[in-house]
Structure 1
Amino acid sequence: MGVQKTVVEAPSTVSAEKMYQGFLLDMDTVFPKVLPQLIKSVEILEGDGGVGTVKLVHLGEATEYTTMKQKVDVIDKAGLAYTYTTIGGDILVDVLESVVNEFVVVPTDGGCIVKNTTIYNTKGDAVLPEDKIKEATEKSALAFKAVEAYLLANLQFLA
């Protein structure tokens, strides 16, 4: 299995706790509300939302794919860390075995930094084309900015 990796850091004026809650813990409800063109809906297939939960994500018309199956690997509320692995769906294309997304929200003066490490595990010696990685990174950045704007406009609703 081959491995390709990206690391992205995104600063925000949203507090670390509220970003962790809205961007990661509540992603199943926030993303379809804010970005229905990317994420139509999320269905829990196994589990209760905690570690080990398997979800089926139905993708919107802004993507060429229709589904992705995710497994929640880490929820560390004290450390503001969250990891999930995409383990199925047509989003994995022919060359991917899985995609691991590791998030850590780091508090800063006046906000936070969201650190995202994405690990693309390819089948055999396959290599995911750089343009696909760039496209995924750009879509993630746009999604982050849209969710951040939503959170800034709706901070009163977050615990």
Structure 2
Amino acid sequence: GCGTSSLSYELHELGYPDVTSIDFSPACVEAMRARYTHCPRLRWAVMDMRALAFPDASFDVVLEKGTLDVLLVEEADPWRVSPRAAAAMRRVLAEVSRVLRPGGRFLSITFAQPHFRKPHYAQEAFGWSLRHAACGDAFHYFLYVMCKGQPLAPADLALGKQL
């Protein structure tokens, strides 16, 4: 979820006029509404990322910054993700795919390295392409970009079949 990050506000200030942010915590969402009452086009909702209450194809962009990491935090071995954690990740990503418009982008920012995260994103059922870039100098984080309606590369398809 959005947590108490100022990212939604910063996107608004950069000129993105319609920003909708969700979090599982009602207290968090109330705090953000109170903090940004001067920005009526920022929208806040209490919601579970596993069951988004938005219509199909309702967003041009979905952005997550470390939220998906919570689904894997209890995993003892990142090379062998439990069926429970893999299913939770699939459920959330299927919801993201569902709410993206054709041509829409899903942006994921995480410290999770490509060999751990790409197999989750590289599922043909989501109907998107996948690319990534390493960012930062000494301690890298990763930006993953998925484009709805574009095919996965053969190498990514193979990665997705590893789960």
Q: Give the structure-2-normalised TM-score.
A: 0.30
More helix by share: 2
Q: Give the structure-1-normalised TM-score.
A: 0.30
More strand by share: 1
**Bigger-Rg structure (1/2):** 2
Q: Which protein has greater RCO, CA pairs closer than 8 Å, 6+ apart?
A: 1
